[in-house]
Amino acid sequence: MAPAILSENWRESQPALWLFLLKLSACLTLGARGWLTWQADSPIRGLFWQEAWWSSLLKNSAGIPWDDWAKESDPYITITLSCIGLILIAIAIVPWLLSFLPKLRWLLWLGAFFLVVDSFARWVASDYDIGMAIEHSLQMSAPIALFFFGKGTAATKQTGRAMTFLLLIATGFTFAGHGFYAAEIHPVPLSYQTMTMKLLGCSESVAVGFLLVVGVLDILAALALFLKPLRRPALLYCVAWGLLTALARIASHFSLSASWWNLDPWLFETTVRTSHWLLPLLVLGLLRKGGTMPK
């Protein structure tokens, strides 16, 4: 059965609000990731230094020994990452131009591509943890959803339903990915622990226990998204907890004496997670009363 989770009058019911939320999510995700790639480096750098992937290719096609590549490639990789960051920042403007330049929506795919590459690089750097493979699903989905939903796109009711279902799946993946780390299915990141200790003013053991509880809740919420009676409460949890965990990045590094630039990169680490709460909020708004999902 096709997912029937979208309002029958989805284009007519609050269209300006839905479109604004999508534009805002895509803009902030692309812009913040672009800034972080440009100014704070990116795990994409590590992809260029995978010796097992590139050493034979470099040797056979260009005659470059791996040791020479490892010693001399860093400046070129830095320039490449800076260009990627600036491209993402430029694409972040595209959502606000779609009303009168709809063909620019194709650039959203380029932005989505770089988000996928960034997420893939994080997965490789994590030694292929499943949680890392899925936790950026909402970020990667933001420009894609705007491409299909955005003004100027021939979005049918069926397309709308499919894309809303995609966002529901992406929400489940993102929160399951968070939960796998917090619940110690994967090693708990030190950053999770230190943020929790700073914000709660607690010991390390209490922070680990707290993360375990919320990690389990994240996984349960991800599963509950696909149970019709629990879908709305689960989405409300995702909106609230997604917002709080995004704000935790800046709150744990904030002081009254700090200037805004002292919050870089934490301001952008918060901003890049906008889709973690805004897109679940959008899905919640698009759900119709009595809608059904595949069992």
Burial of 213 (0-12, 13-18, 19+ CB in 10 A): exposed
DSSP-derived secondary structure letter, 8: T
Do 216 and 179 form a contact (C-beta atoms < 8 A)?
yes
pLDDT, averaged in runs of 10, over the chain (295 residues): 42 66 95 95 93 90 88 93 97 93 93 97 95 96 88 56 86 96 92 91 93 96 94 96 93 68 81 96 74 34
At 291 the pLDDT is: 37
At 255 the pLDDT is: 67
Q: Which residues are bridge partners to 292 per DSSP?
A: 4
Q: 27-63: b or e for each residue (b if 16 or more CB lie within 10 Å)?
A: bbbbbbbbbbbbeebbbbbebbeeeeebbeebeeeee
At 6 the pLDDT is: 43
CA 81, 82, 83, 85 torsion-angle sign: positive
The neighbour count for residue 191, using CB atoms within 10 Å, is 13
At 10 the pLDDT is: 44
